[in-house]
């Protein structure tokens, strides 16, 4: 029996989960958490294999800590909580709007929006990387990919921020977060109604959902609203935090920043290293469809299993000197976008956003300074990262 005292909701874990992950990987790679009747997987290869095994690991009972551990968030119809074969079919339909060839037409817009946001910050000499650059860009791109009116962007940013907001000490889903989710879902349902009435045959997410058929029927408006909500949250929430992490890490490693300023061709690999080093989503969960065994532990059908992605990305079995930030690293694989059945559909979108924002910031304000005293962070069991990261320039 392991003596590691790991509970994702503990204040010490929320403050700094990495030492706990290290102990878990070394001493208890398949670790039982009694209060939640759940298991935590912390090694890279184990999570990689489990992510590719949807016969054993199901997403249908939810994937967030509030769905699988505290069980206070209901499971609503969304792509990420479906299992094959329905998942496979819907995923192949939604995938179309996130493919590189669709994205190429979006790239000039991504660049000009980014330049506009960075120019706003330049003019003032200071600004917030999360709210004024990352969130504005990712929501605008998500609206374009999903097919939502661009002018609704600021309202969507607010809903997504309320959904994730936690006061210190608050566990699981907050009432405010639940309200934000309800409002966002109602909005997406209205948009679905508009899309259906207009008989929109566009290539974006929303029209694809409206056209989707399974088991001889189309989705109801409620179902479309729920799926579109997932796309809004998935498409807009994580990117701003990864951008802020990158801006901070490059400021802390001036030699690496200077190398990228001199040779921006290294920026795509640098963004991957940023994603690996500071993964915001600490873990997602699955539920066992059948009994199975791992590292001598017998896991039973119905129990939840946590995939500790942020731990896997620091596993020395997979990465040489994993605790070293090195933009010249060329890791052949990582788990920042998940893997297997539910691997992120927005990978190309996120990487394009990362490349363009870093290129623009390093080009226009290469000597920016980070104001850590003015920064604000999420330190929740689920998401870690900046909710605000001020920078100064000039």
Label residues 367-391 b or e (16+ Cβ within 10 Å = b): ebebeeeebeebebbbbbbbbbbbb
Residue 294: phi, psi to the nearest 5?
A: -145, 135
Q: How far is the CB of 113 from ligand HEM (least distance, A)?
A: 14
Checking DSSP bridges between strand 384-388 and strand 376-379, what pairing results, if any? Answer: antiparallel
By CB under 6 A, the residues from 367 to 386 that bind ligand HEM are: none
- Residue of 8, 153, 235, 322 that binds ligand HEM (CB under 6 A): 235
CA dihedral of residues 358, 363, 366, 368 (deg, nearest 10): -60
Q: Is 213 exposed, middle or buried (0-12, 13-18, 19+ CB in 10 A)?
A: exposed
Which one of 37-45, 211-219, 227-235, 310-318 is the stretch in contact with ligand HEM (CB under 6 A)?
227-235
Q: How far is the CB of 359 from ligand HEM (least distance, A)?
A: 16
- Residue of 142, 228, 310, 358 that binds ligand HEM (CB under 6 A): 142
By CB under 6 A, the residues from 291 to 350 that bind ligand HEM are: 336-338, 342, 344-346, 349-350
Which tokens go with 162? Answer: 């309320």
Q: How far is the CB of 340 from ligand HEM (least distance, A)?
A: 8
* Strand ranges for the chain from DSSP E: 30-33, 38-41, 57-58, 126-128, 213-214, 217-218, 284-288, 292-294, 297-299, 304-307, 369-370, 376-379, 384-388, 390-392
> Which lies closer to ligand HEM via its Cβ, residue 119 or residue 150?
150
Count the residues of the shown chain that bind ligand HEM, applying the rule CB under 6 A.
Answer: 24
Q: How far is the CB of 287 from ligand HEM (least distance, A)?
A: 12
Using CA atoms, how far apart are residues 258 and 147, in angstroms rounded to an integer?
39
Q: How far is the CB of 1 from ligand HEM (least distance, A)?
A: 29
- Residue of 161, 174, 226, 238 that binds ligand HEM (CB under 6 A): 238
195 binds ligand HEM (CB under 6 A): no
By CB under 6 A, the residues from 351 to 370 that bind ligand HEM are: none
Q: How far is the CB of 296 from ligand HEM (least distance, A)?
A: 25
Q: How far is the CB of 394 from ligand HEM (least distance, A)?
A: 29
54 binds ligand HEM (CB under 6 A): no
Which tokens go with 314? Answer: 């620091």
By CB under 6 A, the residues from 145 to 164 that bind ligand HEM are: 145
Q: How far is the CB of 237 from ligand HEM (least distance, A)?
A: 8
Whether 83 and 96 have beta carbons less than 8 Å apart is answered as no
- Residue of 17, 65, 131, 234 that binds ligand HEM (CB under 6 A): 234
91 binds ligand HEM (CB under 6 A): yes
Rounded (10°) angle between helices 153-164 and 136-146: 110
> Which lies closer to ligand HEM via its Cβ, residue 23 or residue 76?
76
Q: Concatenated DSSP letters for 171-190?
A: -SS-HHHHHHHHHHHHHHHH
Q: Concatenated DSSP letters for 283-325?
A: -EEEEESS-EEETTEEE-TT-EEEE-HHHHTT-TTTSSSTTS-
Q: How far is the CB of 7 from ligand HEM (least distance, A)?
A: 21
Q: Which residues bind ligand HEM (CB under 6 A)?
A: 63, 79-80, 91, 98, 142, 145, 231, 234-235, 238-239, 242, 281, 284, 336-338, 342, 344-346, 349-350
């Amino acid at each position: 029996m392991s003596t590691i005292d790991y509970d994702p909701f503990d204040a010490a874990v929320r403050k700094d989960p990495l030492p706990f992950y290290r102990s878990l990987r070394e001493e208890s790679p398949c670790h039982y958490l009694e209060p939640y009747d759940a298991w935590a997987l912390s090694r890279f290869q184990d999570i990689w294999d489990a992510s590719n095994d949807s016969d054993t690991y199901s997403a249908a009972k939810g994937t967030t800590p509030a769905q699988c551990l505290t069980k206070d968030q209901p499971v609503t119809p969304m792509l990420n909580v479906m299992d094959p074969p329905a998942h496979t079919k819907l995923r192949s339909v939604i995938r179309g709007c996130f493919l590189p060839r669709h994205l190429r037409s979006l790239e000039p817009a991504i660049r000009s929006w980014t330049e506009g946001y960075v120019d706003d910050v330049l003019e003032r000499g200071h600004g917030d990387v999360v709210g004024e650059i990352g969130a504005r860009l990712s929501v605008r791109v998500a609206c374009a990919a999903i097919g939502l009116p661009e002018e609704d962007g600021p309202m969507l940013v607010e809903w997504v921020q309320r959904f994730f907001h936690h006061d210190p000490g608050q566990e699981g889903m907050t009432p405010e977060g639940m309200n934000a989710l309800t409002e966002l879902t109602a909005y997406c349902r209205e948009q679905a109604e508009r899309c259906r009435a207009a008989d929109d045959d566009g290539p974006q997410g929303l029209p694809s959902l409206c056209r989707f058929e399974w088991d001889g029927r189309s989705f109801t408006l409620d179902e479309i609203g729920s799926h579109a909500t997932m796309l809004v949250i998935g498409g807009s929430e994580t990117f701003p935090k990864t951008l802020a992490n990158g801006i901070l890490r490059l400021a802390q490693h001036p030699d690496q920043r200077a190398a990228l300023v001199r040779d921006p061709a290294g920026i795509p690999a640098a963004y991957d290293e940023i994603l690996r080093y500071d993964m915001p989503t600490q873990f997602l969960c699955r539920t066992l469809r059948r009994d199975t065994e791992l590292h001598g532990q017998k896991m039973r059908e119905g129990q939840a299993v946590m995939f500790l992605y942020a731990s896997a990305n620091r596993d020395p079995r997979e990465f040489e000197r994993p605790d070293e930030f090195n933009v010249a690293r060329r890791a052949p694989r990582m788990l920042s976008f998940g893997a297997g059945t539910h691997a992120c559909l927005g990978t190309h979108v996120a990487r394009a956003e990362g490349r363009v924002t870093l290129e623009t910031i390093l080009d226009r304000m290469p000597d920016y300074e980070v104001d850590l005293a003015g920064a604000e962070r999420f330190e929740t069991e689920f998401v870690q990262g900046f909710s605000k990261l001020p920078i100064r320039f000039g």
